[in-house]
A and B are shown apart, each in its own frame.
Chain A
Amino acid sequence: SQQGEEDPQALSIQEGENATMNCSYKTSINNLQWYRQNSGRGLVHLILIRSNEREKHSGRLRVTLDTSKKSSSLLITASRAADTASYFCATVTGANSKLTFGKGITLSVRP
């Protein structure tokens, strides 16, 4: 079963614009992670935010977490054509640390 629901399902923007992707989940979590997947590099970890954190930054990435609303957002600033990929949020709910993924968001960045 998939816990995360990303929104929108697909996003197309111009290079240089910002991209915002949202994720909602259903149960309490230990942490939430964002991954990127493209055919060239497989599934790559982007950023992890723990349940007691509200915001984290990594380079051009900013992720927020609102545990009261059970939602997270990923902001990619100054997008590049190389950011074109599928993006997944994944939650960890127990000590087993298995990831429960959403269906993903397809991001297209036009040069």
Chain B
Amino acid sequence: DTGVSQNPRHKITKRGQNVTFRCDPISEHNRLYWYRQTLGQGPEFLTYFQNEAQLEKSRLLSDRFSAERPKGSFSTLEIQRTEQGDSAMYLCASSTLRFRTGQVLTYEQYFGPGTRLTVT
């Protein structure tokens, strides 16, 4: 399977615990995104990487959240001291960015199956 994979698929944790999620993007994709989706809503952007550089973080990403993408391959999203409001589906996506004379071409994002986090 050459799609985006995420682990674990489900995580139940107690309030105050730390959790870490992993995303493995499509291998040739240079961009990796994290989104969060709550029930009845569309996904909301959290952060993204171009290769190993984290280029933007949403204000939704409090200081309890940290994301890394060492070596520009897989990425991890860690939530420290989880709160019940962190319960959501965490989605990872990857895509390709290409440059052509005078243009930056962006392409569709391929999403993983998500990690559903439940904080009790």
Q: Are B113 and A96 in contact (CB under 8 A)?
A: no
Interface string of B82-97 (1 = CB under 8 A from A): 0000000001010101
Closest to A43 in B: B111
- For B43, B45, B95, B114, which residue has the most chain A Cβ atoms within 10 angstroms? B43
Residues of chain A within 8 A of B33, CB atoms compared = 98-99
State which of A2, A30, A92, A95 has its C-beta within 8 Å of the C-beta of B44.
A2
Interface string of A34-76 (1 = CB under 8 A from B): 0100000011110010000000000000000000000000000
Give the docked Cα–Cα distance between A96 and B97 (Å): 9
Closest to A42 in B: B113
Q: Are A30 and B42 in contact (CB under 8 A)?
A: no
Q: Does B31 contact A (CB under 8 A)?
A: yes
Indicate whether A33 sits within 8 Å of B42 (C-beta atoms), given known contacts A42-B114, A43-B91. Answer: no
Number of B positions contacting A (CB below 8 A): 26
Q: Are B113 and A4 in contact (CB under 8 A)?
A: no
Closest to A89 in B: B42
- Tier of interface size on chain A: 20 to 34
Q: Does B74 contact A (CB under 8 A)?
A: no
Closest to B111 in A: A43
Give the docked Cα–Cα distance between A96 and B42 (Å): 19
Give the docked Cα–Cα distance between A48 and B96 (Å): 14
Closest to A48 in B: B108
Q: Are A2 and B42 in contact (CB under 8 A)?
A: yes
Residues on B facing A (Cβ under 8 Å): 31, 33, 35, 40-45, 48, 55-56, 91, 93, 95, 97, 104, 106-114
Residues on A facing B (Cβ under 8 Å): 2, 4, 30-31, 33, 35, 42-45, 48, 88, 90, 92, 95-104
